Amino acid sequence: MTQEITLKSLWDDAYAASLDEPGKLLYRSNLLGSDLRITNFGGGNTSAKVKHKDPLSGEDVEVLWVKGSGGDIGSMKLDGFATLYMSKLMQLRAQYRSLDQEDAMVEALGHTIFNLNPRAPSIDTWLHGFVPYAHVDHVHSDAVIAIAASADQVRLTEEIFGGELGYLPWQRPGIDLGIKLGRMAEQNPKLKGVVLGQHGLFTWADTSKDCYLLTLEMINRAAVWLDANVKRPVFGGERVPALEVAERKATARRLMPLIRGRISAGAHMVGHFTDAPEVLEFVNSHSLSDLAPMGTSCPDHFLRTKIKPLVVPADADAAALDGLIAGYRADYAAYYDRCKRPNSPAMRDPNAVIYLVPGVGMISFARDKATARVSAEFYVNAINVMRGASGVSKYQGLPEQEAFDIEYWLLEEAKLQRMPKPKPMAGRVAFITGGAGGIGSASAERLLREGCNVVLADIDQTALDQVVAGFAQRYGRDMVRGVVMDVTSEAAVIAAVDYTVGEYGGLDVVVNNAGITSAAAVEDTTLAMWNRTMDILSTGYFLVGREGYRVLKAQGIGGSMVFVSSKNGVAASPGASAYCTAKAAEIHLARCMALEGAPMGIRVNVVNPDAVLRGSKIWKGEWSEQRAASNKIAVSELEEHYRKRSLLQRSVFPEDIAEGVYFFASDLSAKSTGNFLNVDAGNAVSFTR
């Protein structure tokens, strides 16, 4: 047994001794959910039957604590558990007569809630409630599902677990399956759990620790047996050699915007790429063409990944992708038509979620980065299941009609309808230069608040890391990335935009914001000063704009480019000829790009700030000193000086500029291009004219 195959107990007796029963249940749940070999994100359930005083009668009653609907046992807190009266659950069991009552019974669960707990119970509540043991685990271990998804699942369950685990054939989760599971446990007191066909593992015990250890033991037993018995080479061996790492990433970055543009008509999609070893083993294998169309087995898998993936050749061009994606949509529509019921919800997005690229890896798309990443993790689970099942028997996916009935289950539809409305920028991706500075970080925050994914580019590694870490803590690590970049380096700009595409699948918003200041009389302006200013503010904006434009054009779904220029771009100031000229160049470059981008829906607009002192890097050091000297005031008086100079007598802050950036980045300005917006509290010399 190797470390890679088997799981080790992480249970800490000293820590567990300090916890009450619900606390131990949470501890056990978090331990189980911390390892994808045990269960996938959001998958599986844990439960405990605990004595509590009834808040009405004051009597001791038995309460089922079970993971609530939509939770994740690896990251949940105590409020993630639903709590239900066991006595009322058993009353519902006694009332149940036939399968046509199942959905009504789910509605009836609301009458069993203990202590007005708002957490909704999941459909697996029945399977936990009717097992006559205090502690129950249900997990989606790849090793166990490999057994459960094989043609010889009954024989293998007996051979591997020696009668310690029972077997129940596939059935959609609900009260009927819960009753069958409970009866099996009642009638076979020597059983320690059950393998559910095509689904996963149930285990039970009298204590929380024993249940945890038993779950690990059964998973390890399956994993070790599979490793010892699986046929080699797995998946029939290699058919296509893997490309080199750099070539794999380059191919993915070429394909992702092309795919994204073709599947984002209804809503912007966000991508994820992985070339993990198990993915390459599968996509490069002889078995790919046979196994991929069969779809996944575990319901949690195909709810995340759709019933099957789309295989895309590494050299596919735009025309080839048009045909492949259209073919997948037609196939999905035919699947819907074959399987739909009279009361089925309308067909959902017919595009694939998973794209398998031989020689390269796997691309996934969803409406947000976290879902795209998790969908990829689920398909890795499916690959592991197919490897194990096909290596010791014959892999079999869930029957098509059963898969459809899960995917378009009215209860699943109701859960989808309860989800909050997407934010205005959900699914979109923004690339912001000067991202660690005041205006850049304020713009990022504004976009993040509206659901946009953001990549911050900055030359200052330390400041960038701090800003990105702060955003990741507030908005989640999937929403934000940072990349060190010098805007004057063509190679660095190309690499940074490529990185953005690789992380999120494409690009929708480019905010050109990198800044520098220079102040000197014309006769004192050195060529070095002039060139550096132009390199950053003119050439740098061109390089970033060009690379962003290329991605937007390849996607074919429009987009927005926002240049952060300055009042000095439209109104000259003495002693700053290089700065003013470069800022004017930014504005005119934006106008030129607006002309070329308009036929493709690519909008290019400009925000012109003035005197944004707080949080601004360019006002630190010489620039503030030079501006103070030019106005014959102290540096400490600059903010007040500029406030009084404005027509509105108000100071301008980074978050004010961010509002302008958001306006042009979002659909609020869908009919605006080639414009500039002054955010300067009013300055007559910079009025548009």
Element (H, E) at 257: helix 245-263
Q: Are 238 and 283 in contact (CB under 8 A)?
A: no
The answer to whether 565 and 608 have CB atoms below 8 angstroms apart is yes
Q: What strands lie across the sheet with 81-85, from one edge to the other?
A: 81-85, 60-67, 45-53, 135-139, 200-205, 193-196, 165-168
Q: How far apart are the C-alpha atoms of 83 and 94, rounded to whole Å?
A: 20
**Distance of alpha carbon 97 from alpha carbon 290, whole angstroms:** 41
Edge-first strand order for the sheet with 270-274 is: 270-274, 361-366, 354-357, 310-311
CB atoms within 10 A of CB 438: 24
- Cα–Cα distance for residue pair 443/563, rounded to 1 Å: 12
Kind and range of the H or E run holding 94: helix 86-95
Describe the crossing of helices 208-229 and 369-392 by its angle, rounded to 10 degrees. Answer: 60
- Strand blocks (E) in 130-181: 135-139, 165-168
Cβ neighbors of 254 (< 8 A, separation 6 or more) are: none
CA-based Rg of the chain, rounded to a whole angstrom?
Answer: 30
Nearest in space to 615 (alpha carbons), one of 535, 515, 469, 490: 515
Other beta carbons within 10 Å of 211: 26
Provide the residue type at 299 as one letter: P
Contact 397, 295 (CB under 8 A): yes
CB-CB contact of 430 with 327 (8 Å)? no
Inter-residue long-range contacts of 68-72, CB under 8 Å, 24+ positions, other chains counted: 68/119, 68/120, 68/121, 68/122, 69/119, 69/120, 69/121, 69/122, 69/123, 69/415, 70/42, 70/120, 70/122, 70/415, 71/42, 71/122, 72/33, 72/41, 72/42
- Contact 195/167 with Cβ under 8 angstroms? yes
Peptide linkage before 293 cis (omega within 30 of 0): no
Burial label for 80, CB within 10 Å (0-12, 13-18, 19+), is: middle
Q: SS3 for 428-457, per residue?
A: CEEEEECCCCHHHHHHHHHHHHCCCEEEEE
Strands (DSSP E) contained in 57-120 are 60-67, 81-85
Three-state secondary structure string covering 306-339: CCCCEECCCCCCHHHHHHHHHHHHHHHHHHHHHH
Question: Which ranges of 292-418 does DSSP label H, i.e. alpha helix?
Answer: 299-305, 318-339, 369-392, 400-407, 410-418
Is 408 catalytic? The answer is no
Q: CA–CA separation, 661 vs 666, rounded Å?
A: 9
Give the angle subtended at the CA of 68 by the CAs of 66 and 71, to the nearest 5°. 120
Query: What six digits make up the tokens of 494?
Result: 């190309």
Tokens for 644? 């009084």
Catalytic residue selected from 167, 355, 379, 579: 579
- Per the listing, tokens 């490309």 go with 243
Question: Which sequence positions are flagged as catalytic?
Answer: 579
